[in-house]
Chain A
Amino acid sequence: MSFNVIGKSVIRVDGLAKVTGKAVYPQDIYMDGMLYGKTLRSTVPHAYFTLDTSKAEKIEGVVRIFTAKDVPGHNAHGVLFKDHEVFCAQKVRRIGDPLAFVVATSEKIAQKAVEAIEVKYEELPAVFDPVEAMKDEIKVHDGTSNIIYHYKLRKGNIEEGFAKSHVVVENVYKTSMVDHAFLQPEAGIAYVEEDGTIVVCAATQYPHFDQLEIAEAMGVPAEKVKVINPAVGGAFGGREDITLQIHLAIAAVATGGPVKAVYSREESFVAHSKRHPEIIKIKTGADKEGKLLALEAEIIADTGAYASWAINVTRKSGIHVTGPYVIPNVKVDAYAVYTNNPFCGAMRGFGATQVPIATEQQMDMLAEKLGISPVEIRLKNAFTKGSETANGQILTESVPLITCIKKVADALEMA
């Protein structure tokens, strides 16, 4: 059989537009009579606040300043929990929370007006350490525990597994927060069509969900919202949450639009999610030959001020912490925890990227203790076709890990 695409080197459909500079990213859209928006963001991590916009409003060229009271529908959004506010109403929970959106005739004026808004903070004690946060002494969201998710995995009997182990290695690993730093900072433009349809054009990874979130915040049916996704300048998970979409929609409807906004690199850093930093406490045991017998892990994922994809990310960490290895006795507890840090969500690997830092170093240490090579210990335990993962999945197809390890080892001349 011959295919048109499979097995062939095909030139990507959007390649030509991109090499000629004709691809349109949202910041490349200019419309007649467009206004510019700039966001005012919190500069403290946890506080009640009040705003005085009177000076800013008087600046020539300022059209309107939008705050929480201008959200026509629900002042909330979020991919799993609606824990983000479109604009904070009373309280900020992290540095970078949106407080107001200034719309003006030029970007420069909008920026000047943002700086002219007076913000009074009444600071609250904040919590930055997820282990502290688990005590719930300082609550990031009123009325909810900071522990928003607990993934529990139990297989076999770990006491027995460790009792039978010839070597046991136990350590704590910490991974760091990471930003996607996609090259195209967030940008968008919104306008209203003749029949009242709100059009938001922004680079996003989740246009159909953005449509629902915009509709809910605007208090209109979803079919009254159109989301256009032009060229996206990288994303890596960082464009799965709402940033400027709803602000633009509110401003376009109130002013008649079009309204455009382009984030600076600095604002981009505080506006979107990060990779969850994790504290991974892990104990691994193996027999004399290097066969894994038991693994116990506790993972604490710091999701910062908002949940975003914390549940899915933390679950994935909890599953992948075994590595691609057969282990008969496993106990895992993975927690996602609110703090007043920048919020964390999707980023390349989605929870599977953090845990190998722990798992694989454990493997190396076990190998060292047993006097066998790091390759050998992996070959002895690697998943193959028919293996069962710790969470009970039988791998029925294509598990070429051993082939892969051998090829890498040959290439490294280590085998």
Chain B
Amino acid sequence: MKKISLTVNGKLYQVEVEEDMRLLDLLRDKLGFTGVKEGCSEGECGACSVIMDGKLVTSCLIMAFQAEGKEIITIEGLQKEDGTLHPIQQAFLEEGAVQCGFCTPAMVLAAKALLDKNPHPTDEEIKEGISGNLCRCTGYAKIVSSVKKAAEYLNKGGK
């Protein structure tokens, strides 16, 4: 057991973690952030992606103790307290980019990680930005158009 502290969605947590616990297990099983999904457990599908210190990472490949002192954003941290959706979430809804939804939380975070760095991405850059995230339902076209729409919303300042 090891005691670590980390910030998730702006809130500080101090937790005891086992040496072999993955960040994914810490977030889901211990802290209850079940919007983080597990699809493959080996870094292939991207469903477990979270943003760690501004970078998109697959939480199934990171040990919990490695998150010591880090700032993590999960899907649960995007919606405002008054219920307003993040422009990316809004765009995903409007464009019909959500089907079974299992890839969606991580896909939205991948879009956020991209748009935070590159507010005017080309289609190619969007495709590259979500290339670590698999979706078996949508065929990606509507995801790409949502990211474009989200970029417009964000550039207009909010929604």
Query: Could you list which residues of chain A lie within 8 angstroms of chain B, going by C-beta atoms?
Result: 9, 11-12, 14-25, 27-28, 30, 180-185, 231-236, 262, 264-265
Contact = CB atoms under 8 A, between A and B. Distances in A.
Contact of B136 (A21, A182, A265): A182
Nearest to B89: A19
A233 B106 CA distance: 14
Contacts of A180: 136
B38 A20 contact: no
B74 A21 contact: yes
A304 B40 CA distance: 25
Nearest to A262: B38
B100 A184 contact: yes
A412 to B, nearest CB: 19
Given A20-B79, A20-B85, A184-B102, A12 B37 contact: no
Contacts of B89: 19-20
Nearest to A232: B100
Which 10 residue pairs of A and B lie closest in terms of their CB atoms, listed nearest first? A21-B35, A18-B101, A233-B102, A21-B75, A28-B34, A19-B89, A234-B100, A183-B102, A21-B105, A184-B102
Nearest to B133: A183
Interface string B82-122: 00010001001110101111111100100000000000000
A21 B104 CA distance: 8
A24 B32 CA distance: 12
Contact of B98 (A18, A185, A232, A262): A18
A9 B38 CA distance: 31
A12 B98 contact: yes
10 contacts: A12-B98, A15-B93, A16-B93, A19-B89, A21-B104, A27-B38, A183-B100, A184-B102, A233-B102, A265-B40
B103 A183 contact: yes
B33 to A, nearest CB: 8
A183 B108 contact: no
Contacts of B134: 183
B51 interface: no
B19 to A, nearest CB: 13
Nearest to A28: B34
B35 to A, nearest CB: 2
B100 A264 contact: no
Contacts of B144: none
Interface residues of B, number: 39
A235 to B, nearest CB: 8
Contacts of B98: 12, 15, 18-19
Nearest to A182: B136
A234 B136 contact: yes
Interface in B50-95: 74-76, 78-79, 85, 89, 92-94
Given A21-B75, A25-B102, 4 more contacts: A19-B75, A19-B89, A184-B39, A231-B102
A231 B40 CA distance: 18
Nearest to A180: B136
A264 B42 CA distance: 10
Contacts of B29: 30
B26 interface: no
A318 to B, nearest CB: 29
Nearest to A24: B34
B41 A12 contact: no
Contacts of A231: 100-102
B74 to A, nearest CB: 7
B47 interface: yes
A183 B137 CA distance: 9
A21 B32 CA distance: 11
Contacts of B136: 180-183, 234, 236
A144 B22 CA distance: 48
Contacts of B75: 19-21
Contacts of A24: 34
Given A11-B94, A12-B96, A18 B41 contact: no
A12 B98 CA distance: 8
Contacts of B101: 14-15, 17-19, 23, 231, 233
A234 to B, nearest CB: 4
A22 B105 CA distance: 9
Contact of B39 (A15, A20, A30, A185): A185
Contacts of B78: 20
A264 B38 CA distance: 9
B135 interface: yes
Contacts of B92: 15, 19
B56 to A, nearest CB: 15
